Amino acid sequence: MDNKKALNVFPIQITIIGRDDIIEGELVRTNAPRTVEKILAKLPLTGRIIKRGNQLSITVNIKMGKEKPTTTAKKGDIGYWPMSDAICIFLDDMEPYGGINIIGTITSNLDALMNLRMGTTLKITQK
C-alpha cells in the first residue's frame, strides 16, 4: 500500500455482540473527509441496528450534511445517511432514499450481517 493510500484508509472491525463473528471493513477518508473524521472521533461505537430491507443502520449522533452524496450503493458499501444521522451497511445493491455519503466498504465476512434481527447490537472499532 502506498503512503498516500495509507493516510486515507482506516481499517475498522465490526463485532456482533453475543456472537463470535468479526466483520472487517475500511473507512476511506477521500470519499467524504469531514464525515469520516467525525465518525473516527466517535469510535468505538456501540449501537442497536435498525434493519430496512437490505440495509442496516446505526445512529451515530454526528449530525453531518451531505458530502459528495450519491443515490446508489453497492453490496458491502458503508455509508453515512444524513437524513437519519446513521452509518448504513448495504447488504445488496440499492438506491437509498435522499442521498448518502459513501464512507467505506466491508472487506471481509459480509455474510455474517445478512440475517441479523432488528435490535441486534454491533460494536464498531478502529483496528
What pLDDT digit, counting tens, does each position of 60-95 carry? 999 998 998 999 999 999 999 999 999 999 999 999
* Torsion sign across C-alpha atoms 91, 89, 65, 4: negative
Q: CATH no. for residue 17?
A: 2.40.100.20
Q: Which among 39, 52, 119 is positioned nearest to 80, based on CA atoms?
A: 39
- Whether the pTM exceeds 0.85: the reply is yes
Express each pLDDT in 87-119 by its tens digit: 999 999 999 888 899 999 999 999 999 989 999
Express each pLDDT in 26-59 by its tens digit: 999 999 999 999 999 999 999 999 998 899 999 9
Domain count, the chain: 1
Give pLDDT, residue 53: 87
Q: Which residues contact 42 (CB under 8 A, 6 or more apart)?
A: 60, 61, 62
Q: Which residues contact 40 (CB under 8 A, 6 or more apart)?
A: 10, 27, 126
**Residue 24 sits in which domain range?**
3-126
Question: Does the pLDDT of residue 18 top 60, yes or no?
Answer: yes
